[in-house]
A = this chain, B = another copy of it.
């Protein structure tokens, strides 16, 4: 922490700040400046809250220098976290492909697409049974019946199942059926849910909130990890900006930045970022080229008749072609 004093701060005000620092068993370091003086703090083991000092008279600004995340940081663990999901790995050298429809709609739909995808070599099946919807009047998913259909498809074709949990109440149910628990963007700040999945051992796919800063995103992962569950996969899915042409703005830069700071794997969801299948395809390629550990993509056997997110769902043939490109691009991921 560095504390900046006002250019007209008095010696008494500086003394008061120094005393407050000493009272916390930390050491103040006064750095006199031409215009104003600054006071550095040393001796702390983690981040100090700026709030303690901001209110003191004469203080202009408090600049944190220690990052608030710990367990997810590469400073704590240098090598990449690799998560094993029934023999399929996420993180490290492997490129992870997760695919499937937005929502499970009925048995035929999910069995059809699972068969097609597993035939292409896809190991992870996605599909929503509980859907968070902006409108109370929209389709909210099939619930447990949907989970049963998803599990049947998963088992029939030897896949692993990724599906979203939307609240603590249904977490035990979802955790029973799925292999990877997805936390959606709208729940990234739902700390009660984060704590509860932190007490499980099942891998968690954590999506970045619509307007989450990188620090907030990493702290949400820290919530899960600090409660005991180290199997966290981060997921960039687009942020909210002033864009007039795409649903959200995919923030590709977060991928290499996270890989510098954290040992956790990070994948990209181009489907929700774009909202339009025409740009999902190039964005998926871009995600792998910037170094993502994988992608999660919506594919539907019949997008024109999808109950939700049809316009962003790929046709199976389109997806197959994309898959070939992604596998070729995979080797660029690990370049410097």
Q: Which B residues touch A182, using CB under 8 A?
A: none
- A227 at interface, CB cutoff 8 A: yes
Of residues 217 through 258 on chain A, the ones whose CB sits less than 8 Å from some CB of chain B are: 219, 222-223, 226-227, 239-246, 249-257
Of residues 32 through 48 on chain A, the ones whose CB sits less than 8 Å from some CB of chain B are: 32-36, 38, 40, 42-47
How many chain A residues touch B (Cβ–Cβ < 8 Å)? 109
Residue of B nearest to A277 (CB): B55
Nearest chain B CB to A291's CB is how many angstroms away?
A: 5
Please state if A31 and B34 are interface contacts (CB–CB under 8 Å). no
Please state if B245 and A46 are interface contacts (CB–CB under 8 Å). no
- A214 at interface, CB cutoff 8 A: yes
Nearest chain B CB to A31's CB is how many angstroms away?
A: 4
Question: Which of B219, B244, B281, B329 is within 8 Å of A214, CB to CB?
Answer: B244
C-alpha spacing A214/B253, complex, angstroms: 20
Of residues 14 through 63 on chain A, the ones whose CB sits less than 8 Å from some CB of chain B are: 29, 31-36, 38, 40, 42-47, 49, 51-52, 54-56, 61, 63
Question: Which of B136, B193, B290 is within 8 Å of A283, CB to CB?
Answer: B290
Nearest chain B CB to A233's CB is how many angstroms away?
A: 19
Please state if B253 and A310 are interface contacts (CB–CB under 8 Å). no
Q: Which B residues touch A216, using CB under 8 A?
A: 134
Residues of chain A touching chain B, judged by Cβ–Cβ distance below 8 Å, are 2, 4, 7, 29, 31-36, 38, 40, 42-47, 49, 51-52, 54-56, 61, 63, 65-66, 68, 75, 132-138, 166-169, 186-187, 189-193, 195, 210-211, 213-216, 219, 222-223, 226-227, 239-246, 249-257, 260, 273-274, 278-279, 281-283, 285-291, 303-306, 308-311, 313, 318, 321, 325, 328-329, 332, 335-336
